[in-house]
Amino acid sequence: MVELVWLVPTLPLLGFCLLLVTGRMLGEPRAGWVATAAAAGSFLVTLVVFIGLLGKDSDKGERSYEFILFEWLPAGSLRVEAGFLVDPLSITMALFVTGVGALIHLYSIGYMHGDPKYSKFFLYLNLFLFSMLMLVFGNNLVVTFLGWEGVGACSYFLISFWHQRESAATAGKKAFVTNRVGDWGFMIATFAIWSALGTVTYTEISRSPAMSAATGTAVSLLLFVAAAGKSAQLPLYVWLPDAMEGPTPVSAMVHAATMVTSGVYLLVRMNNVLTDDALLIIAVVGGATALFAALCAVAQHDIKKVLAYSTISQLGYMFLAIGSGAYVAAIFHVITHAFFKALLFLGSGSVIHGMHDEQDMRKMGALRVAMPITAATFIVGWLAIAGVPPFAGFWSKDEILLAAWEQKNIGPLLWAVGLVTALLTAYYMSRQVILVFFGEQRWEEDVHPHESTWTMTTPLCVLAGAAIVGGAINLPLVKDWLILEHFLEPIFHHPHHFSSGTTTKIILAIVSVVAGLIGISVAVLSWLMRRIPTEPLEPEFLENAMYVDATYARVVGGAGTSGFQKTADFDAEIVDGTVNRIGRLVMKLGQLIQPTQSGYMRNYAVGVAVGAVAIVAVLAWGLL
Amino acid sequence: MIQLVAAQSASSFPVLNALIIVPIVGALIVVLLPNSRPELMRPVGAIFASIAGALSLYVMAQFSIHEAGFQFQSVQSWIPNLGINWHVGVDGISLWLVVLTGLITPIVLIAVDPHHDPKPYTAWLLLLQAGSFGAFLALDLFLFFVMFEIVLVPMYMLIGGWGYDDRRYAATKFFLYTMAGSALMLVAIVSVATLSAGNQDITFNVVELAQRQALSTNTARLCFLAFALAFVIKVPIIPVHTWLPDAHTQAPTAGSVVLAAVMLKLGTYGLLRFGLYLFPEASVWAAPTLATLGVIGVIYGAIVATMQKDLKRLVAYSSIAHMGFIVLGIFAFTTQSLEGGVLQMINHGLSTGALFLMVGMLYERRKTRAIEELSGIQSAAPVFAGFFTVVMLSSIGVPGLNGFVGEFLVLIGSYETRRWWTVIAATGVILAALYLLWAYQRVFHGEPTPEDEQTPDLTLKEGLVLTPFIVGIVFLGLYPKPLLERIEPAVDDLIAHLEHHSDYVQPDIGAPVVVDENHGSEDDH
């Protein structure tokens, strides 16, 4: 059954090809159903492959299958194959990618209703899914890079989907170019690995002896540059808030649940080359990003911007986990985050849809009456991300905080950063829920909020269920309940084990729950009961995301552009100018000499005579 | 030895000679067609160009994969006293350039309407095809020089006769600049032939001269520099590149396409065949400088491209950036970098050729190439925008499309011998995304102006013309193996030649050191 893996990416690819040829003919809603069927089929095949893999004996190391399709780039001793690797890590990723992906396809059928480019949207969604699956299933760095760039290109298409809007077009370009900085890191890391180990294939890399410390750290950091681009970490995160220009299902699928976790996947996949020095840097950057983005989320007014910064912050958590060596915790959080963040984004899409494209939370309020299903499911997502037990987010976040606590060098500091982030998360999400669904209604007269159709609410309900019970895949209470950890164990050279005693664990868990409750209480007091003045809670400094992006824009628009322009002027005036000056000089010389070629016989005769005399004179001089 | 080869090839059909002769015959027939039937010119020309294209495909099909040397050789005595022969042959390095030349010319003839004087236009394009074939196939230095110079004439005529406003200036600049470069090459050719002779017969045979290696180190280096100057102008490499943006911008679409796809490759091909092969020691000696210039070209070309206001100039500068990758690959001297370089010549021909074709199509519709005068074309012409997007992504180097394959091999190969050069050159992939996406945004995204709104979408004929490019772009991106396995023997042979005649040794990046349970140790080969 594992052999069927080729079908997993092939189905969305077929969907893409079909829509490319017949998309406009199919029209709405059939194009949407074709794409959804491709995604759902892909999920079902993934399930079959998963069951097949479960049937193999993990203890004998049988849960790792490679399927080679053909030789892609054979050049000398470099052998790059187009091949798939099915192992616990790739199948775990593929399960939620196709599962959540299929739900979002279904949701989009209703959400994109009436759009003139309806079929094109689904064409991109299918292409995205295909690329994401190539990224996950690729058996070597280059095939992963194919998927990596593929999702980047699809992200570009989808962000600038409404390309008549200047802001959407700019955001798409910004996402692609910023991601390319990360891609540079990916490429150099690949070169360095091949140079050091003579292979780019994952199974061979994991069997290779360690690289020298310097090379290992360089490779680790280059991989992290790649991850920071794709997964929106400091300082490359700036494209993600702008990416909200895309249709909301895109934000849910590409910019929350799947693509942005690719960086986490890459580092977990390459876990055996990451050095301790690099891990410390990854932990620090991850923690800093988590805190920074949570602070920014506090003061946003756009319903999607809050979720965008929240996503950056949660991704920071995942890198904090990786930096602390807790790879399973990172993947665990990837999964639970995919559930609750996709849910929150789709919920916000439902709100935006019901409010006739209004995204400003200040113009919402009391929507729970008009949109009961959206409200109920959104609240589930809120409880999950706020870390309220027993919702899914609590378990994965708790594991990350524990891992941070146990980090060798600066554990308590990392833990404290994570804890403050947890408090802030609970606060800004509560603020959002209150502003949107509770309080007084603040929408304008001509807006008539309504609940969305069943194709949109069904995915909400399914994801809400997953956000409630998703934590069950890795419960820390009893050792046998750590299902995910046992499943993923074969891919790690040195599986991470928590050293803290039960008491510490329980105390830490209680502290984090209390932090979450404080965050919620502050939000309730200020935004619902209006006991605390709200003005100082959203300072301009935070609303503008600490002016980081604005500073980038000033540098790129100022010094950057003028530097580029000066180079272009240099090319035109100095380099090309010299060429033309030489040309003119030759012409001038020609004009100077020209009069000697007068065409008069007598002038030439004089010249010949003078010349002859001169030659004779010289010869005579030589003889004397 | 020459007689032997001649005897061999006499028995079979001299297909390489036919490649060169067919377009010339076509040009003559076009000239003889009555002026009263202008509509016949291009179709007749296209037929001959296509016959040549079909012959190039025949060469490809009959090419023996695992052979490093020259195939289909044909030798006819030309100027016996001086040892000059009509000597042609093809190997893995030139094979794909020949195929590219064979296929591009008929497509261009079919695709682009000259608007006036179709007879000389068609004839010049056919001569251009013949000359390009000759330059890629020549194995005699004198013959090569003749062909290398001959191609200037039709291109000069095309730019000067069918170009845009500033065509005279651009054509003259193009002609004088490249002529100046090759003047010294002629001196070097004569020097190499005579100085290598010693007690033996004088010869212009490239293979023979490469084997003799009879020049002193300094003479060889001087001769190499003379050759290299001609080639770096042709590529072009910074700082001798400024003829290119003018030539490209002022040339008619057909001229731009052939210039980008075929003629620039004469430079990089020349560096391989007459640089590395004839002067191995001098090439190793000059490699750091030339690799540096290549990397500068990657970055500098991209930066200048970003600021261009004219779409054609932008593509021209992007060409300079892409050719910089090839130069880096050539002078990194590894199997991967050289294979990538050769492959990238083809890739660049496909994607830049297609870009110029499409900019031409846009010009036909809107009568402008100024980026600021265009907006929202994607709304008006979505299919056109879709084709453009694929080609753009190929040019950016997105994996799955052809541009990536070449760039990746160049870079991963260069990383072994020119590590820091590679690290810097790789930033070119960021800049490539920047200038192309920014241009795309300004031209295709946004609200269309009333004029832009009327822009007609791709016609069926234009779609058919572009389809071969798209097929090539996708196929080479996914399955470059058929090309790579024909390029590799020739490239390996060239590296062995370099190692034999200089102190250069290719670093050994072997198979992984791990012991694979299934296959055993990989060290045994």
**pLDDT 10s digits, B344-383:** 999 999 999 999 999 999 999 999 999 999 999 999 999 9
Minimal C-alpha gap between B303 and chain A (Å): 6
- The mean pLDDT value for A266-292 works out to 96
* B22 located within any domain: no
Asked whether residue A484 falls in the same domain as residue A373, the answer is yes
Q: Which residues contact A556 (CB under 8 A, 6 or more apart)?
A: none
Identify which of B300, B304, B398 has the shortest CB distance to residue A149.
B398
Distance CA A92, CA A7 (A): 17
The strand pairing partners of A327, in sequence order, are: none
Q: Comparing A214-218, A451-455, B10-14, which segment has the lowest mean pLDDT?
A: B10-14
Rounded Cα distance, A620 and B7, in Å: 60
For residues A461-475, average pLDDT = 93
Render A12-51 in DSSP notation, one character per residue. HHHHHHHHHHHHHHH-TTHHHHHHHHHHHHHHHHHHHHHH
Mean pLDDT of chain B: 92
Q: Cα separation of A143 and A127, whole Å?
A: 16
Q: Return the percentage of chain B with pLDDT > 90, whole number.
A: 86
Does the distance separating the beta carbons of B409 and A73 come in below 8 Å?
Answer: yes
- Provide the domain count of chain A: 2
Give the pLDDT band of residue A265 (cuts 50, 70, 90). Answer: very high
Cα angle for residues B230, B233, B238 (degrees, 5° grid): 140
Distances (CA, A) of A602 to A138, A154, A387, A599, A615: 86, 80, 107, 9, 20
* Residues A438 and A559 occupy one common structural domain: no
DSSP class of A373 = H
Instruction: Note whether A534 and A508 are same-domain residues.
Output: yes
Question: Are A307 and A404 in a shared domain?
Answer: yes
Based on the fold, state whether residues A499 and A563 are members of the same structural domain.
no
| pLDDT confidence bin for B513, thresholds 50/70/90 | low
* Nearest-CA distance A426 → chain B (Å): 38
Judged by average pLDDT, the poorest of A349-353, A360-364, A494-498 is: A494-498
Strands (E) in A215-323, as ranges, are none
Structural domain includes residue B25: no
In 3D space, the residue among A263, A407, A395 whose CA is nearest the CA of residue A333 turns out to be A395
Q: Based on the domain organization, do A509 and A361 belong to the same domain? A: yes
Residue B127 lies in a domain: no
Answer whether residue A61 shows pLDDT above 90: no
Both tokens assigned to B122? 């068609």
- Specify if B315 maps to a domain: yes
| Averaged pLDDT for residues A549-568 | 91
Contact B89, B1 (CB under 8 A): no
Q: B403, B354 in Cβ contact below 8 A? A: no
The pLDDT of residue B207: 93
Q: Which domain holds residue B347?
A: 279-506
| Domain shared by A539 and A561, yes or no | no
pLDDT of B518 higher than 50: no
The answer, yes or no, to whether the previous bond of A29 is cis (omega within 30 of 0) is: yes
What's the gap in Å between the CA of A211 and the closest CA on chain B?
12
What local confidence, expressed as pLDDT, does residue B7 receive? 44
**pLDDT for residue B156 is more than 50:** yes
Pick the closest to residue B361 from B443, B244, B432 (CA basis).
B443
Q: What is the mean pLDDT of residues B220-240?
A: 94
Question: Would you say residue A12 lies in a domain?
Answer: no
Burial B376-390 (b: 16+ CB within 10 A, else e): bbbbbbbebbebbbb
pLDDT of residue B516: 44
In which band, very low, low, confident or very high, does the pLDDT at B427 lie, cut at 50, 70 and 90? very high
Q: What is the DSSP track for B13-28?
A: --HHHHHHHHHHHHHH
B239 within a domain of the structure (yes/no): no
Distance between CA atoms of residues B179 and B243, nearest Å: 12
Residue that has been written with the tokens 């102008």 in this structure: B233
Assess if residue A192 is contained within a domain: no
Interstrand relation of B84-90 and B71-79 (parallel, antiparallel or unpaired): antiparallel
Inter-chain contact A208–B514, Cβ cutoff 8 Å?
yes
On whether the CB atoms of residues A532 and A526 are closer than 8 A, the answer is yes
Q: pLDDT class for B189, splitting at 50, 70, 90? A: very high
- Residue holding tokens 């490809």? B60
CA distance B162 to B113: 10
Q: How does A382-394 read in b/e, with b if 16+ C-beta sit within 10 Å?
A: bbbbbbbeebbbb
Nearest CA in chain A to B375: A164
CA distances from B387 to A580, B132, B438 (A): 38, 28, 17
- B-chain CB neighbours of A188 within 8 Å are 415, 422-423, 426
pLDDT at A389: 87
Q: Give the separation between CA A175 and CA B98, rounded to whole angstroms.
A: 40
Q: Quote the tokens at residue A417.
A: 């950063």
Domain count, chain B: 1
CA A168, A169, A175, A176 torsion-angle sign? positive
A75 within domain boundaries: no
* Same domain as A468, residue A591: no
Tell me what pLDDT residue A259 has: 94
Out of B429, B437, B479, whose CB is closest to A70? B479
Residues 6+ apart with CB under 8 A from A438: A365, A366, A368, A528
Determine the pLDDT at residue A536. Answer: 86
Q: Is B374 helix (H, G, I), strand (E, B) or coil?
A: coil
Q: Are residues A563 and A440 in the same domain?
A: no
For range A454-471, the mean pLDDT? 94
CA quadruple A230, A231, A236, A240: dihedral sign: positive
Domain end marker among A492, A509, A543: A543
Is the predicted pLDDT of residue B517 greater than 70, yes or no? Answer: no
Q: Closest Cα of chain A to B344: distance in Å?
A: 13
- For residues A435 and A423, what is the distance between their CA atoms, to the nearest angstrom? 18
In this prediction, residue B512 has a pLDDT band, given cuts at 50, 70 and 90, of low
The shortest CB-CB distance from A169 to any of B400, B429, B446 is to B446
Nearest-by-CA chain A residue for B392: A153
Predicted pLDDT of residue B124:
96
For residues B289-309, give the mean pLDDT.
Answer: 96
Q: How confident is the model at residue B520 (pLDDT cuts 50, 70, 90)?
A: very low
Last residue of a domain, one of A543, A566, A589: A543
Name, in order, each residue with C-beta under 8 angstroms of A10's C-beta and a sequence gap of 6 or more: none
Confidence class for position B3, pLDDT limits 50, 70, 90? very low
3-state secondary structure at position A299? coil
Other Cβ atoms less than 10 A from the Cβ of A617: the count is: 10
The verdict on A294 and A393 lying in the same domain is: yes
Q: Measured between alpha carbons, how far is residue A250 from residues A239, A245, A384, A500, B50 in Å?
A: 14, 9, 21, 40, 47
B8 part of a folded domain: no
Q: What is the phi/psi pair of residue B374, to 5°?
A: -115, 150
Tell whether the torsion through CA atoms of B160, B164, B168 and B172 is positive or negative. Answer: negative
- What pLDDT sits at residue A495? 78
pLDDT value of residue B511: 56
**What three-state secondary structure class fits B71?**
strand
Is B190 a member of any domain?
Answer: no
- The reported pLDDT for the residue numbered A604 is 86
Of the listed ranges A217-221, A499-503, B104-108, the one predicted with least confidence: A499-503
Calculate ∠ Cα A218-A223-A225, nearest 5°: 95
- Residue B467, both tokens: 């389809």
What the block records as the tokens of A43 is 């999920």
Q: Is residue A60 over pLDDT 80?
A: no
Taking the C-alpha atoms of residue A522 and residue A428, their distance in angstroms, rounded to an integer, is 10
Dump the DSSP string for A66-102: EEEEEEEEEETTEEEEEEEEESHHHHHHHHHHHHHHH
Q: How far is CA A603 from CA A590, A610, A611, A612, B206, in A?
A: 18, 11, 12, 14, 49
Range of the domain at A385: 287-333+348-543
Q: Contact at 8 Å (CB) between B431 and B302?
A: yes
Q: Is the pLDDT of residue A521 over 80?
A: yes
Question: Which of B304, B306, B486 to mutate to probe the A interface, most A CBs <10 Å?
Answer: B304
| ipTM for this model | 0.92
Q: What is the mean pLDDT of residues A223-246?
A: 95
pLDDT band at B510 (very low <50, low <70, confident <90, very high): low
A212 burial via Cβ count (<10 Å: 0-12, 13-18, 19+): exposed
Closest CA relative to residue A377, chosen from A461, A296, A297:
A461
Q: How far apart are CA B175 and CA B160, in angstroms?
A: 10
State the smallest CA–CA distance between residue B436 and chain A in angstroms. 10
Section B31-46 average pLDDT: 93
Q: How far is CA B297 from CA A568, B109, B257, in A?
A: 13, 31, 21
Q: Are B437 and A177 within 8 A, CB to CB?
A: yes
pLDDT of residue A443: 85
Residues A571, A449 share a domain: no
A536 with A560, same domain: the answer is: no
Coil, strand, or helix at residue B75? Answer: strand
CB contact under 8 A, B336 and A169: no
The pLDDT, as a whole number, for residue A446 is 82
Mean pLDDT over residues B496-511, rounded? 87
In 3-state terms, what secondary structure has residue B114? coil
The CA distances from residue B428 to A68, A558, B395, in Å, are 32, 21, 12
Report CA-CA distances (Å) from A594 to A580, A581, A590, B176: 21, 19, 6, 20
Which residue of B300, B307, B485 is in closest CB contact with A565? B307
Q: What is the mean pLDDT of chain A?
A: 93
The answer as to whether B97 is a domain residue is no
- Gap from A174 CA to chain B (nearest CA, Å): 9
Look at residue B109 and tell me whether its pLDDT is greater than 60.
Answer: yes
Interface probe for A, chosen from B298, B313, B398, B422 (most Cβ of A below 10 Å), is B398
* Helices vs strands, H then E, count in chain A: 26, 2
Read off the amino acid at residue B271.
L
Percent with pLDDT over 70 in chain A: 100
The pLDDT score that the predictor gives to residue B4 is: 47
Residue A415 lies in a domain: yes
pLDDT of residue B525: 38
* pLDDT tier, A229 (very low <50, low <70, confident <90, very high otherwise): very high
Contact B6, B74 (CB under 8 A): yes
Backbone φ/ψ region at B83: left (φ over 0), alpha (ψ -120 to 50), beta:
left
pLDDT score for B6: 46
